[in-house]
Amino acid sequence: MDDTQKKIKNLLVFISVILAFAALYVARDMFLPIVIGVLVALTFSPVVRALARLRIPEPVSAFVLILGAVLTLVFGTYMLSGPITEILDDAPSMGLELRQKLEGVAGMLEDAQDASEQVEGLANGGDSTPVVAVEQPSLLAFAAGSIANFLGLTVVGLVLALFILASGNLFYVKLLEAFPSFSDKRRAATTAREIERQISRYFLTITLINAGLGVSIGVAMYLIGLPNPILWGLLAFVLNFLPFVGAIVGAMVVAAFGILSFDTLGMGFLPAAVYLLLTSIEGQFVTPHVLGKRLELNTVSVFLTVIIWSWLWSVPGALMAVPFLVLLKAVCTNVPGLTVLGNFLGPRTVVQTTPRTADGTA
C-alpha cells in the first residue's frame, strides 16, 4: 500500500509540474509582469528597509526608487531609439552593401540553396505546380511589436513592485502567520530574507558589471573607429543580461557594422573580436570573482534554465532565467529537503577525503 501511495504521489507531482509549465506558457502575458514586479521588489527591499531605519516612510522611498527605474528605462529607450531608427531606415541599402562585401560567402550559400531546391524538385517528381506563398510579417515588425509588448508588461510589473514595496513588511507578516510552529516561522523568515538578500545582491552587482562592460566596449569601439560607439556600449549593457546568447548576438551585430564601416574584412571583424574578448573576460573572471562562491552557479544548470525559460517566454524568459535560478538556489540552501538540488545547482566543490592507513581505517 505504501508503495502504491508513493507511486501515486510521484505521478501527481509529475502531472502538477506539466500543468504548471502549460499554465506559464499559455498565460505568460499575465505571469510576466507578476514575476517582474516580485523580482524588482526583492531587489529594492533592502534599500527601502534601510531608508525606513532613517525614518523615511516606505511609500516615499518606494515611489522614488520606482520612479528612478522608470526614468532610467525611458532614458535608455530614448537613447537607443535615434540610432536604431536610422539603422532601420538604411537597412535595405546596408543589406545590399553587406551582401556585396560578402559576395564570396553569399555565392556559396546561393549554390547550396539551388542544390537544395533541385533535390526537393526531384523528390516531388518534377511537379511544377505553382505554390501559393502566404506573406508573413517582417522580422523588424515582429521585433518592434515584441519589444513594445515587453516594455508595456515591464511598466505593469514596476507598478506592482511599487505597491509591494510601499506595503512594507506586510507580506512577511502574512508569510509567518501561515506557519503554525515557531521553528517553521523562523525557517520561513530566514529563507525569505536570504532570497531577498541574494536577489538584491545579484541584480545590483550584475547591473554594475554590465554597466562597466558597456563603458569598456563603447570606449573600445571608439578607439577602433567604429561609428556610434555609445550605441554599441548601450547594446552590450542590455544584451549582457542574456546569458550565452547576448554575447553572440552582440558580436554578430558589431561584426556586420564593422564590415560595413571598414574597407577590409580583417579590419571589419576586429570590432567583433574585441567585443567577444571583453565579454569573455567579464564572464570568466570578473563576474565569478565579484559575485563569489555563494551566488555562483554551474554552467550546465544555467544553460538548461535559459533553454527552458526561453522556450516558455522567449527573450523575457531568457532574462528571467538566472534570477529564477538564484532564487531557487536560495530556497534549496535553506530547506533541508532540497539540499541535494541546491548542491547540483552550485559550482564544483572539492570533496575532502580522509587519508586511510594500510589496514583500511581512517
CA distance 157 to 61: 17
More confident residue, 43 or 139: 43
More confident residue, 238 or 359: 238
Q: How does residue 132 score in pLDDT terms, banded at 50, 70 and 90?
A: very low
Q: What is the predicted pLDDT for the residue at 353?
A: 42
Mean pLDDT of the chain: 78
| 39-95 pLDDT, tens digit each | 889 889 888 988 988 989 999 999 999 999 889 888 877 877 777 777 767 667 777
| 98-116 pLDDT, tens digit each | 777 677 555 555 555 665 5
pLDDT cut 70: percent of the chain above it: 80
Q: Where are the domains of the chain?
A: 1-103+146-168
At residue 216, what is the residue type? S
Place of cell 538578500: 197
What would the 3-class secondary structure string for the chain be? CHHHHHHHHHHHHHHHHHHHHHHHHHCHHHHHHHHHHHHHHHHHHHHHHHHHHCCCCHHHHHHHHHHHHHHHHHHHHHHHHHHHHHHHHCHHHHHHHHHHHCHHHHHHHHHHHHHHHHHHHHHCCCCCCCCCCCCCCCHHHHHHHHHHHHHHHHHHHHHHHHHHHHCCCHHHHHHHHCCCCHHHHHHHHHHHHHHHHHHHHHHHHHHHHHHHHHHHHHHHHHHHCCCCHHHHHHHHHHHCCCCCHHHHHHHHHHHHHHHHHCCCHHHHHHHHHHHHHHHHHHHHHHHHHHHCHHHCCCHHHHHHHHHHHHHHHHHHHHHHHHHHHHHHHHHHHHCHHHHHHHHHHCCCCCCCCCCCCCCCCC
Report whether pLDDT(359) > 70: no
Q: What is the predicted pLDDT for the residue at 318?
A: 83
| 244-258 pLDDT, tens digit each | 888 898 999 898 888
Report for 192-201, 228-237, 313-322: range of highest mean pLDDT: 228-237
Q: What is the predicted pLDDT for the residue at 260?
A: 85
Mean pLDDT for 180-185 is 80
Q: What is the predicted pLDDT for the residue at 215?
A: 94
CA distance 90 to 357: 76
| 184-199 pLDDT, tens digit each | 788 888 888 888 888 8
Report whether pLDDT(296) > 60: yes
Q: Per the structure block, which three cell numbers stand in for 259?
A: 564590415
Q: What is the predicted pLDDT for the residue at 333?
A: 76
At residue 260, what is the residue type? L
Q: What is the predicted pLDDT for the residue at 354?
A: 46
